[in-house]
Amino acid sequence: SAVGRGPEVPFRSEAYSISAVARGKELRLTLSALDPAAGPPAQDLVFRFGMSGSFRLSPAAELPRHAHLRFLTRENPPRALCFVDPRRFGSWRLGDAWQPERGPCVVSEYQAFRENVLKNLDDRAFDKPICEVLLNQKYFNGIGNYLRAEILYRLKIPPFEKARTVLEALKEQEQERRKKDPSLTLSKKVKLRQENPDLLELCHSVPMEVIMAEKPLLDPEHSDNYAAFKNWLQCYLVPGMSSLRDRSGRTIWFQGEPGPMAPKGEPRKTPRKKSPQLKAEPEALSPKVTPRASKQRRRAAAKPPKSEDKEEEADRPRKGRARGRRKVIAAPALPEVPPSVRRSRRTSAGRGKGETGSP
């Protein structure tokens, strides 16, 4: 699309197939011509999804908003496989190489993932709290914000316990278990792990619960599926849980004590019940309107603002609020009076020369 940030894909073919393989938080697509002799060579693309990226199959005449890359089918009417990314945090790059700084996948490469963590506990990365280390894709490729909360909650591990403390204890337990009974069969080992899973095992099994569900849980477009996902959650965004921001600015949900490395400040409690007024009348929570804002609102009501192109605005990256800019405290639909007009009003009032023109 015109606003897409990814590179142009140098692949043109009248008939081709798409295959995919995932590794942690990355997905590799391979485009292959159906007739290799007449078509172009295969092309690989590796995607990262950011916070809002996904793939969607839709009619070509009804493309979803923010469809930044599109693969058209030959059927009639045609459909399009779209890479949709409203926030544009996602990306794609040409070639088949995974990012080199990402470790083995927690789902598809579990044994390699486990070994990669346990043999590198001397790394300074493990000096941080366990909740922060779980987002380090060098060691926990595939674990994100909601998964780390669910994993730590199930094991009752404080999120701000030192990562090395947690994982070295796990390593010692594994060594003791081998010493006690070195003759354990594979089936008995699997049974023991299922009954008493450790942190690294849950890093594999908890994502698998989401992947192997009968319906795709992470699908906000289908309210029934998304409701099932919310019911599956035990900690993340669940009413009654506490939350704190870690040093990277991400919010971690938990229950009980946060741990010895917690940042300063009291944890916030997630309300057990949302007020119905929040949904029905959000305007009721607005701050008190000052006399000046009230006058501005009456003037603006006589001349409503022009409508804006919401889609184009959403596609542009949002800029931070300018430092020192005042926030309008009247109704949100009303425009802010330009500073030059406010100065003009004050000047005219001081001189007693009558009313100023409307903005």
Give CA–CA dist 202/135, Å, rounded. 14
Q: Output the average pLDDT for the chain.
A: 77
| Domains defined along the chain, listed by start | 16-94 (3.20.190.10), 110-254 (1.10.8.50)
**DSSP string over 3-30:** T--SPP-----SSEEEEEEEETTEEEEE
H or E segment and range at residue 189 = helix 186-195
Q: What is the per-residue pLDDT for 110?
A: 96
* Per-residue pLDDT tens over the stretch 268-311: 877 765 543 433 333 333 344 444 544 554 554 444 444 333 33
Residue 217: pLDDT band with limits 50, 70, 90 = low
Dihedral pair phi/psi, residue 39, rounded to 5°: -90, 175
* Per-residue pLDDT tens over the stretch 26-50: 999 999 999 988 889 999 999 999 8
The reported pTM is 0.68
